[in-house]
């Protein structure tokens, strides 16, 4: 029998999805393992998508997306992200995950290395493996407040290093990098002639530090910026994101897009036009809700004496359970689910540096979140 490709077999399974799927088979589970907002999508967004379906707007669009949507994104980038691009630098994708995949496909050749944060989102490891490239983790340490160390990054460089991946606000850590730190990272990338992929999916959800887009600091056209409407507008199943590229990439992107999904479905694109151009009440209310949830959750963790990283952005809390996990937090998280009926993401799903930690999502309702934290074993229990 023929064999599956080595690239496909090298993709690590998602430890997050393992917990999520196990939880789906159980009753009365408090689900905190995945980043799923529970707030209903704004009606004007739903109406725009429904109107497009009802009007039979169901045909192909350009590979990089509808001109109307790309113009709306360009206006949003100038207004909110403080940088200006031509519309042909904007490419609509099937969610932020495909935007990441396309960014790596455009910058990595088989055997190339990409520097990825550890702990970091699981897809940062999975996509390079699928492409035959090599993810090289750069350690983010609790004692350094999970900030990237330039000296550590320097030690990760080899002749095969081609890309630096940055994620701020961070999933799973909730860390937001300052403009000064981002400038240091860009200078590091320039010294080694690296592309930079910046995952900015949680751009609108910051609490204690202002968000800065990496591309707003880029002076030599090396940044690929990844965005999504999944978290911003609660459209996780709508599957629309976008990739902003340096100049001169449009024709290459469009060829690669034709070879993958061809284009994103038209009704979803029109729903996103309504989201970007319409009232932003959902975003403001969601940010306030997530911030309140984070504060309430942190207060409960403080009361119980459980160590954690206070998030500056996104809507996750990174919690230290090393006092009970016994050096195998993946097994502990599964046992905790089966016995306490709380689904949490084990830290090792985000890299080896996550051993002893878990990630919980604070995007849902407040009471189940606090109840779940009360079920966590305290340091003294």
Torsion of CA 20, 305, 367, 330, to 10 degrees: 0
Q: Where are the domains of the chain?
A: 6-41+281-375, 43-277
Mean pLDDT over all residues of the chain? 96
Please give the Cα distance from 272 to 35 (Å, whole number): 20
pLDDT of 211 reads: 97
Judged against a pLDDT cut of 90, whether residue 13 lies above it is answered with no
Q: Which residues have a Cβ under 8 Å from the Cβ of 57 and sit 6 or more positions away?
A: 266, 267, 270
Judged against a pLDDT cut of 70, whether residue 186 lies above it is answered with yes
Block residue for tokens 């860390």: 175
23: its two tokens: 């939880």
Judged against a pLDDT cut of 80, whether residue 380 lies above it is answered with no
Helix (H) / strand (E) containing 195? strand 195-199
Please give the Cα distance from 193 to 4 (Å, whole number): 35
Average pLDDT over residues 167-192: 98
245: its two tokens: 């590229």
Domain 6-41+281-375: which topology?
A: 3.90.1150
CB-neighbour burial class of residue 58 (10 A; exposed 0-12, middle 13-18, buried 19+) = exposed
| Strand, helix or coil for residue 162 | strand
pLDDT in tens, 205-215: 999 889 999 99
pLDDT of 381 reads: 57
Please give the Cα distance from 196 to 191 (Å, whole number): 12
pLDDT in tens, 271-307: 999 999 999 999 999 999 999 999 999 999 999 999 9
% of the chain beyond a pLDDT of 90: 96
Please give the Cα distance from 39 to 48 (Å, whole number): 18
pLDDT in tens, 51-76: 999 999 999 999 999 999 999 999 99
Judged against a pLDDT cut of 80, whether residue 367 lies above it is answered with yes
Judged against a pLDDT cut of 90, whether residue 36 lies above it is answered with no
pLDDT of 379 reads: 84
pLDDT of 119 reads: 98
Q: What angle do CA 303, 305, 309 make, to 5 degrees?
A: 100
Extended beta strands in 72-194, E state: 90-93, 113-118, 134-139, 161-167
Is the alpha carbon torsion for 345, 348, 354, 355 positive or negative? positive
% of the chain beyond a pLDDT of 70: 100
- pLDDT band at residue 38 under the 50/70/90 scheme: confident
pLDDT of 303 reads: 96
**Number of Cβ within a 10 Å radius of residue 4:** 7
CB-neighbour burial class of residue 236 (10 A; exposed 0-12, middle 13-18, buried 19+) = middle
CA 87 from centroid of its chain's CA atoms: 24
Average pLDDT over residues 249-275: 98
Average pLDDT over residues 118-138: 97
CATH number attached to the domain at 43-277: 3.40.640.10
Judged against a pLDDT cut of 90, whether residue 78 lies above it is answered with yes
Provide the residue count of the chain: 381
pLDDT of 281 reads: 97
Pairwise pLDDT comparison (345 vs 17), residue with the higher score: 345
Judged against a pLDDT cut of 80, whether residue 173 lies above it is answered with yes
pTM of this prediction? 0.96
């Amino acid at each position: 029998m023929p064999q599956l490709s080595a690239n496909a077999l090298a993709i690590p399974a998602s430890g997050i999805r393992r917990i999520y799927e196990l939880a789906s088979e159980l009753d009365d589970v408090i689900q905190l393992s995945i980043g799923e907002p529970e707030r209903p999508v704004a009606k004007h967004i739903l109406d725009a998508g429904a109107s497009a379906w009802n009007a039979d707007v169901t045909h192909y669009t350009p590979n990089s997306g509808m001109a109307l949507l790309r113009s709306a994104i360009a206006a949003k980038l100038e207004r909110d992200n403080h940088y200006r691009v031509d519309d042909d630098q904007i490419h609509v994708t099937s969610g932020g995950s495909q935007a990441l995949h396309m960014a790596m496909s455009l910058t990595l050749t088989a055997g190339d290395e990409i520097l990825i944060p550890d702990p970091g989102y699981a897809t940062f490891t999975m996509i390079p493996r699928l492409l035959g490239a090599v993810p090289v983790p750069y350690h983010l340490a609790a004692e350094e407040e999970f900030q990237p160390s330039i000296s550590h990054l320097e030690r990760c460089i080899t002749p095969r290093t081609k890309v630096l991946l940055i994620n701020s606000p961070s999933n799973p850590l909730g860390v937001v990098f300052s403009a000064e730190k981002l400038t240091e990272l860009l200078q590091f990338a320039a010294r080694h002639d690296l592309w930079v992929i910046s995952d900015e999916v949680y751009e609108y959800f910051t609490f204690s530090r202002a968000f800065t887009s990496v591309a707003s600091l880029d002076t030599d056209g090396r940044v690929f910026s990844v965005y999504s409407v999944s978290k911003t507008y609660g459209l996780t199943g709508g599957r629309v994101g976008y990739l902003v590229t340096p100049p001169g990439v449009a024709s290459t992107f469009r060829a690669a897009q034709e070879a993958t999904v061809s284009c994103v479905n038209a009704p979803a694109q029109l729903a996103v036009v309504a989201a970007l151009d319409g009232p932003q009440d959902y975003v403001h209310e969601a940010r306030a809700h997530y911030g309140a949830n984070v504060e309430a959750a942190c207060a409960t963790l403080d009361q119980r004496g459980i160590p954690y990283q206070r998030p500056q952005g996104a809507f996750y809390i990174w919690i230290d359970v090393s006092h009970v996990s016994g050096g195998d937090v993946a097994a502990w998280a599964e046992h905790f689910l089966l016995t306490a009926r709380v689904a949490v993401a084990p830290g090792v799903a985000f890299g080896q540096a996550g051993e002893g930690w878990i990630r919980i999502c604070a995007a849902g309702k407040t009471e189940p979140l606090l109840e779940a934290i009360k079920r966590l074993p305290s340091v003294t229990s």
